[in-house]
Copies of this chain bind each other. A is one copy, B any other.
Amino acid sequence: MTTPDEEVLVARAYLSAVAEPPAPAVCGFVSAHGPVEAAARVVAGDVPRDVEDEVQARRGEVSGSALLESARRAGLRLLTPEHAGDWPTERFGCFEEATAIGLAGVAPPLALWTRGSRSLARALDRSCAIVGARAASGYGEHVSAEWAHGLVSAGVTVVSGAAYGIDGAAHRGALAARGSGTDEAHGVTVAFVASGADVDYPAGHARLLATVAERGLVLSEYPPATMPRKHRFLVRNRLIAGAGAGTVVVEAGARSGAGNTASTAESLGRPVMAAPGPVTSASSVGCHAMIRSGKAVLVTRPDDVLELINPMGSAPPEQGSPKRVTDEVGSYARRVHEALWDGASAEQLAVSTGLPPGKVRAVLPELEFAGLARRGDEGWSRVS
Q: Which residues of A contact B (CB under 8 A)?
A: 19-20, 52-54, 56-58, 61, 139, 142-143, 229-231, 254-255, 275-280, 284-285, 288-289, 291-292, 297-301, 304, 318-322, 331, 334-335, 338-339, 347, 350-351, 353-357, 359-360
Contact = CB atoms under 8 A, between A and B. Distances in A.
Contacts of A298: 276, 288, 291-292, 298
25 contacts: A57-B350, A57-B357, A57-B360, A58-B351, A139-B280, A142-B280, A143-B280, A229-B338, A230-B334, A231-B331, A231-B335, A254-B320, A254-B321, A254-B322, A255-B322, A276-B276, A276-B277, A276-B278, A276-B284, A277-B278, A279-B300, A285-B300, A289-B318, A291-B298, A292-B298
Number of chain copies forming the complex = 2
B318 A301 contact: no
Given A139-B280, A288-B276, A291-B276, A354 B254 contact: no
Nearest to A301: B279
Given A231-B338, A255-B321, A57 B353 contact: yes
A273 to B, nearest CB: 10
Query: A-B pairs with the 5 shortest C-beta distances?
Result: A20-B354, A276-B276, A57-B350, A255-B321, A279-B300
B321 A300 contact: no
- Central interface residue in A57, A61, A297, A335, by most chain B CB within 10 Å: A57
A149 to B, nearest CB: 14
A364 B306 CA distance: 48
B292 A297 contact: yes
- Central interface residue in A139, A229, A276, by most chain B CB within 10 Å: A276
B318 A300 contact: no
Given A255-B321, A298-B298, A357 B56 contact: yes
A19 B351 CA distance: 10
Contacts of A354: 19-20, 54, 57-58
B231 A334 contact: yes
Nearest to A348: B57
A62 to B, nearest CB: 9
Contacts of A347: 57
A251 B341 CA distance: 34
A221 B68 CA distance: 82
Given A318-B289, A353-B20, A335 B276 contact: no
A291 B339 CA distance: 36
